[in-house]
Amino acid sequence: MNRQFLAAGVLVLQLSLSTLAQQPTASPQPQPPTPQQPTRTSDEDVVRINTNLVQVDAVITDKNGKPVIDLKPGEVQISEDGKRQKITHFSYVVAAETTEIATSSKPTTIDKNASPAPPVALKKEQVRRTIAIIVDDLGLSSTSVNPVRGALKKFVDDQMLPNDLVAIIRTAGGIGALQQFTADKRQLHAAIERIRWYAPGRGGMATFAPIEGANSDVPPDVDAANDRLDQFHENVFAVGTLGAIDYVLRGLRELPGRKSILLISDGFGIYSPDDQSRSDRVLQALQRSTDLASRASVVIYTMNATRLQTLGLTAADYSTGYDPFGPPNQITQQLSSRRETHRAAQEGLDYLAKETGGLAIRDTNDLGGGIRRVMEDQKGYYLIGYRPDESTFDPKTGRRTFHKLSLKVTRAGDFTGRMRNGFYGITDEEAHPAPRTPQEQAIAALTSPFGANGIHLQLTSLFANDPKKGSFMRSMLHIKASDLQFTDEPDGSHKARFDVVAVTFGDNGTVVDQIGRTYTIRIPAATYDQTLREGFVYYLTVPVKKPGAYQLRTALRDEKTERVGSASQYIEVPDVKKNLLALSGLVLAGIDATAFNKQRASQGASAIPASAARLNADDQVDQTDPETSPALRHFHPGQMMKFGYVIYNAQSDKTTGQPRLQTQLRLFRNGQPVFTGREEPFKLNNPPDLKRLSVSGAIHLGADLVPGEYMFQVVVTDLLADQKNRVATQWIDFEIVK
């Protein structure tokens, strides 16, 4: 690694400017101990359906709706097809409790103008609840969209816990839906902003169409034909909504623990009085969804977004030609039809919730309160298992029947038990065989939010903008070479073959760019050992035509061993053309501390405070430690860490023609600040382009920093910009190692 670490295939950043580097002089604050999580055995992690064990989850509440958590196995009975089963597995699992969370549930801010602390990346073992919020924009009316957005924003800001893994998915979205599970509130807010009224869907401008009355200009036969077309239209999109739910259910099966879906919709009916075939199609789709939910250990909650409705006559009815003085039977018939439409729309939502053990939230204007009820219901659950009879999974006839489950609490009192109502006689192994082909293995790795770790990968994706080429994402994928299997070649070199798949998802889960290639790498004998120690980097550049939220996901599969690794990163691409303050991605690398100290001495140590040493692009990058490269970012306590980025669209003073910027550096660990630097004025040095100010600097990592994962954040304030757009921030993760 040479001194031009930012220009050598990483980012085109001309680090000719200098800025104040900040060195934390105080020791970092001690971190609070992480509270111990409840003990969970392997049987408690996944609901099982196989020939040896049927295991289901249940929520049991008292007459006041409060959860009951102290039941004994002898106080619960479970039956399959009306036949009581002997319970062999019984436990209560705490899924989420505020006192168990190690980090604050609200973002940490330094002052009113500062951006929130960087998000904490959850590991698989840290997840307590996995929640997919599906917004049925195929069925939302335009009047429901804004209240839904407001309720979701309130959930993300106030109700979501740090150990929650959440996705906000649109039923009209693309195939990237499963890539949206995250604990990053930025990503969730970006998903909320994308919720729109979907005009081709079954949701109209309002919950109910106005009553047009007998004096309407529409002929009766045309009106009847329109009604049939509307009914067909609604059934088609209802099946489309359930198809989107099924897609999410299949992905949720691979995630840990008890999962939940919250479906927010204006509702859809099951039965059609005019066409039994359409009723059957919707009902079959519902049954398929509930069976998938059972096998994936997913509880489906539903919330009707229409809120409280006035089912009587409204001003909109009078404005469409409706005659209020018409025959009384006409008024009664049309209002009865409106009430029936409202009732029927709830049928599908009620069915999904009842059959999977969830709650159906309806008839409330407080959608945020409805989401809170759903979250409260997920604090804990019972896992109940029994050994099924041989007839449960009888494959002789080739027909696998549906088996009905029921639950009864024998303790004295009034109790309600909610669980999935049954399952088909197909084992999990038959329903979801393990991926076999290379393509299936790569897709499975791309789908999981936690990825695969058969091969260790580290992905770094950075946004930047070029005046001629526009915006782009530059990515570095560091591959641990020792995880690959090499074969010895006759000339003494070593060869490995691997498949690389990379997909960039944009708004709504659409695919922006994708590659799938097989590579053969040959390493000479002279550099083989070094490559095994240090690994190598795969570079990828993706042009970005539109601003928005993007996610790059990669998977690598070793051809010899079939081991698979994957990695992903979320990136926000600002609209540079709007002339608003923005920052490029951050580049980090270690620098030679000896060279750094010599430079400070040459400038006169007495004239430069210890917390404000100046650096520029000529500083030596540490060539002795490849761990500190921009692709890996592994640093030691007490080491110097260099950073670089670009400031876009700084406003200029009308008198001097110069910008007035302040910069600030911060370090976080587990979401908590360990160092906050001073706000320092940004110094210019004759930049060629005031709209693209390249910045470099360094920070001295404290000798007392404990090993672990950290976030490095830069906050830039434009004192000449308006209050709303004067602060921009960027962060990147790095690791302190021994």
The whole-number average pLDDT for the span 211-232 is 46
Residues 558 and 629 in one domain: yes
Distance of alpha carbon 605 from the chain centroid? 48
Looking at the 3D structure of the chain, how many domains does it have? 3
Classified as helix, coil or strand, 4 is: coil
DSSP 434-466: PP-SHHHHHHHHHHSTT--BSS-EEEEEEEEEE
Tens of pLDDT, residue by residue over 37-56, are 333 433 344 456 667 788 88
Answer yes or no: do 517 and 578 share one domain: yes
Is 44 within the bounds of a domain? no
Residue (of 555, 570, 565) closest to 473 by Cα position: 570
- Residue 206 counted as domain residue: yes
Does any domain span residue 38? no
Neighbours of 7 (CB within 10 A): 15
CATH number for the domain that contains residue 345:
3.40.50.410
Q: What is the pLDDT of residue 696?
A: 87
Backbone angles phi, psi at 460, to 5 degrees: -125, 115
Q: Which residue has the tokens 């023609």?
A: 657
Q: Are residues 419 and 474 in the same domain?
A: no
**Nearest Cα to Cα of residue 100 among 124, 75, 127:** 127
Asked whether the predicted pLDDT for residue 17 surpasses 80, the reply is no
CB 352, CB 260: distance < 8 Å: no
Angle (CA) 272 273 278, round 5°:
30
Q: Note whether 59 and 180 are same-domain residues.
A: no
Cβ contacts of 209 within 8 Å, gap of 6 or more: none
The C-alpha atoms of residue 377 and residue 57 are separated, in whole angstroms, by 13
- pLDDT band of residue 263 (cuts 50, 70, 90) is very high
pTM of the full structure: 0.64
Most confidently predicted of 49-53, 217-221, 448-452, 656-660? 656-660
Q: What is the pLDDT of residue 273?
A: 58
> What are the distances in angstroms from CA 19 to CA 596, 607, 613, 694, 698?
14, 16, 9, 10, 9
Residues 559/538, Cβ–Cβ less than 8 Å? no
Last residue of a domain, one of 426, 458, 493: 426
Q: In sequence order, what are the beta bridge partners of 380? A: 94
* Stronger pLDDT, 82 or 281, i.e. the higher one: 82
| Same domain flag for 371 and 454 | no
591: which DSSP letter?
B
pLDDT confidence of residue 605: 31
pLDDT for the residue numbered 523: 93
| Per-residue confidence (pLDDT) for residue 623, from 0 to 100 | 54
Max alpha carbon distance in the chain (Å)? 98
Has residue 589 got a pLDDT over 80? Answer: yes
Q: Are residues 326 and 194 in the same domain?
A: yes
Quick one: pLDDT at residue 727? 94
397/343 same-domain check: no
pLDDT exceeds cutoff 60 at 675: yes
Q: Residues 527, 621: one domain?
A: yes
Residue 534 lies inside a defined structural domain of this protein: yes
Choose among 377, 380, 369, 305: nearest CA to 158.
369
Quick one: 400 and 511 in the same domain?
Answer: no
> Does the pLDDT value for residue 602 go beyond 90?
no
| Domain endpoint, select from 363, 396, 426 | 426
Containing 226, the helix (H) or strand (E) segment is: helix 220-252
Q: Which residue has the higher pLDDT, 217 or 534?
A: 534
Assess if residue 433 is contained within a domain.
Answer: no
Measured CA to CA, the distance from residue 621 to residue 3 in angstroms comes to: 5
Q: Is residue 8 part of a domain?
A: no
- CATH number for the domain spanning 638: value is 2.60.40.3880
Distance CA 3, CA 15 (A): 11
Name the band, by pLDDT with cuts 50, 70 and 90, for residue 520.
very high
Query: Cα dist. 632→118, 478, 627, 737 in Å?
Result: 19, 7, 6, 12
Closest CA to 520 of 489, 478, 475, 491: 489
Q: Which of 131, 171, 135, 386 is nearest to 264 (CA)?
A: 135
Rounded Cα distance, 90 and 553, in Å = 39
57 and 197, same domain (yes or no): no
Mean local confidence (pLDDT), 701-710: 89
Asked if residue 311 has pLDDT above 70, the reply is no
Lowest-confidence pick of 2-11, 187-196, 197-206, 455-464:
2-11
Share of the chain above pLDDT 70, in %: 68
- In angstroms, how far is the first alpha carbon of the chain from the final one? 21
Residue 198 has pLDDT above 80, yes or no: no
Identify the band that residue 106 occupies on the pLDDT scale cut at 50, 70 and 90: very low
How far is residue 4's CA from residue 8's CA, in Å, rounded to a whole number?
6
3-state secondary structure at position 256: coil
Whole-angstrom Cα distance, residue 156 to residue 428? Answer: 34
Instruction: Identify whether 151 is part of a domain.
Output: yes
Q: Mean pLDDT over all residues of the chain?
A: 74
Instruction: Indicate the residue among 363, 378, 393 that finishes a domain.
Output: 378
Q: Which residue has the tokens 């210890």?
A: 610
Same domain (yes/no): 672, 730: yes
Range of the domain at 78: 50-95+382-426
Q: What is the mean pLDDT of residues 225-234?
A: 45
Least trusted range by pLDDT, from 199-203, 394-398, 604-608: 604-608
Q: Which residue has the higher pLDDT, 112 or 307?
A: 307
Residues 254 and 416: their CA atoms lie apart, in Å, by 30
Q: How far apart are CA 333 and CA 327, in angstroms?
A: 10
For 602, phi and psi rounded to 5 degrees?
-65, -25
Bridge partners of residue 543, in order along the sequence: 472
Q: How confident is the model at residue 689 (pLDDT cuts 50, 70, 90)?
A: confident
How many other β-carbons are positioned within 10 Å of the β-carbon of residue 516? 13
Q: Is residue 155 part of a domain?
A: yes
Look at 342 and 165; give whichever has higher pLDDT: 165
DSSP assignment of 317-352 equals HHTTT--TTS-HHHHHHHHHHHHHHHHHHTHHHHHH
Phi-psi bin for 147: left (phi > 0), alpha (psi -120 to 50), beta? alpha
pLDDT category at 651 given cuts 50, 70, 90 is very high
Residues 624, 520: one domain? yes
Separation between Cα atoms, residue 520 and residue 500, nearest integer Å: 11
